[in-house]
Chain A
């Protein structure tokens, strides 16, 4: 914080990135421990943020502790840069840290996310910060923290396998579609946060550093770059991700996670990429989906594209 810090201008009623330096130091220590023990949940003295618990306070504290004035921040919710809470968090950091923001995945040095991993592979040096509502993957099986901590301590994960097996005996396949538990570095079972299981394979050997912040539950955990992350499964029932019979209606992508968008009340709907930047980028490069020319679909796409411009008006 010096010459560079001077360049970034923020609301000086607050310390850079809102939190005081002591708090940031405490969080960074927790982050270092988390990186050193991949998948282990580190308790930390989470602070009250000016955003409701459950709305990304953990992610915000992590972002606030790792961000510097020269960073470029991207914030997504459900894969989209223009969802209201993503806009709200981006505005917060514009105000209290004055950092540059972007929607382009490749331009961001820090990406805070809720419920998705961007489609575009991340690079070395990038930081992906996940917002985590419930860090404990075993919580639905055992409500007591004193018990689950023991289970992690002894790597006693039989209960989780039994749960997955019960799905198979009942439905013939595992019926977990998001928050699909992973084994990190062969030691800790970890919640990937409520990302769709479609995104789970992206966690493995990712070049970026992945940090997870759970504000309400006051836990931090991490996956360092190039770490083994395996979705739990059985030899005869291997893990598999969601597939769609459709391509993205706007950009024609066949390999991205699709959201179903209701167009009217007569059953009209289309499937589009949940990663808005990925979709817009493809369209810019000339890729067209089956509904790219449809007026209703265009209206939907426009409302997404102009969000950044609106934001600048509003400042």
Chain B
């Protein structure tokens, strides 16, 4: 019998108990703490904060624990929680030029003011399984040596170096007081402004954005990108409370940022120059911000007067399908009962088959 969907409350409650038991796993193994996840699965936490649109390591770690490490599920948990939070203020734009840099590389210049800073990266590790990490007693407390001299204080954006020559398009701030689109409060609308697009891509599924970015490199909308600069580090967040009228610092967040530089052959109105694609995420997530920057640039096709021919340039296609909470929900809703509609289709198929049979018999008789 179709008990799976007619089970009612008791079945639901029992399935909750079963998932709690499964999540805990073997009782002989010590339970994972939220702090351990926050400290030792930090990149997973960064992804969940970014796509979940909440900067809170502890909550993101809790979501990861609750979701048994299913990051899309964890993102969903964090988003649902976010809905219940009041909004106190809109922050001032963060200034990533003042970032306390932990990592900063450019592929466009060999040396840059402030220098190349590798920081913590897997880039040059050989991807060999490290069995030392599997040892029962653990790895102890690895320590990195301290640099002899501190990093430069201000690290200008690499793209700004080109700016002085007019080789790269200018980046103009929005006019004073212009309201920023808020994707979490307003429905998507088209044509989408860059604020809406970047919010969507930042919240968008890393895998989806990565695949789209990749497609632009393989020829589905090539923009000849250069990784102008990738940087990661702490920036301070400021708000201007109405009663004060001046900015106050409310805390620091770690962000990753990517400025992609793309060739542009120019159009009737615009001389040939480099153009930009931009990516930003919470925490440390270079894969995401690089892919995001590629897709951002691809989606500027309309603005640049380029013909949009490829999926990554198709605004509605990209923005409507990037969100994994929406996508996972709608795909998984196929698990819900559809037997009323299925019954309607059964009746139809039976009718169509009967008509088909009748037609064949009639033809045979003729």
Contacts and interface: CB of A to CB of B under 8 A. Distances in A.
Interface in B325-351: 325-326, 328-333, 336-341, 343-348
Contacts of B352: 171, 175
Nearest to A315: B9
Given A52-B329, A216-B329, A218-B187, A196 B3 contact: no
A259 B344 CA distance: 9
B82 A300 contact: no
Interface in A184-221: 194-198, 216, 218-219
The B contact surface, by secondary structure, is helix
A299 B3 CA distance: 11
A77 B346 contact: no
Contacts of A260: 339, 343, 346
A18 B84 CA distance: 8
A43 B329 CA distance: 20
A274 B10 CA distance: 22
Given A115-B338, A177-B348, A307 B316 contact: no
A259 B6 contact: no
Nearest to B82: A48
B18 interface: no
Contacts of A49: 80, 83
B13 interface: yes
Interface string B1-12: 111111111111
Interface stretch (A81-89, A121-129, A247-255, A277-285): A81-89
B344 A242 contact: yes
Contact of B10 (A47, A198, A299, A310): A310
Contact of A91 (B6, B9, B337): B9
A53 interface: yes
Contacts of B131: none
Interface in A124-176: 133, 143-146, 171-172, 175
B93 interface: no
A257 B320 CA distance: 35
B10 A54 contact: no
B172 interface: no
A171 B355 contact: yes
B210 interface: no
B13 A196 contact: no
A14 B92 CA distance: 30
Contacts of A50: 80, 83
Contacts of A77: 336-337
B86 A20 contact: yes
Interface in A28-76: 43-50, 52-55, 57
Contact of A48 (B7, B79, B337): B79
A133 B83 CA distance: 21
Query: Size range of the interface on B?
Result: 35 or more
A28 to B, nearest CB: 16
Given A45-B185, A52-B76, A171-B352, A78 B339 contact: yes
A44 B187 contact: yes
Contacts of A85: 336-337
Contacts of A43: 187, 189
A133 B186 contact: no
29 contacts: A14-B84, A19-B83, A43-B189, A47-B83, A48-B76, A48-B83, A50-B83, A52-B76, A52-B333, A53-B328, A53-B333, A78-B338, A79-B340, A83-B6, A84-B337, A85-B337, A87-B8, A91-B9, A133-B333, A177-B344, A196-B341, A216-B329, A244-B347, A259-B340, A259-B343, A262-B2, A303-B1, A307-B8, A310-B9
Interface of A: 14-15, 18-20, 43-50, 52-55, 57, 77-80, 82-85, 87-88, 91, 114-116, 133, 143-146, 171-172, 175, 177-179, 194-198, 216, 218-219, 242, 244, 257-263, 274, 299-300, 303-304, 306-307, 310-311, 313-314
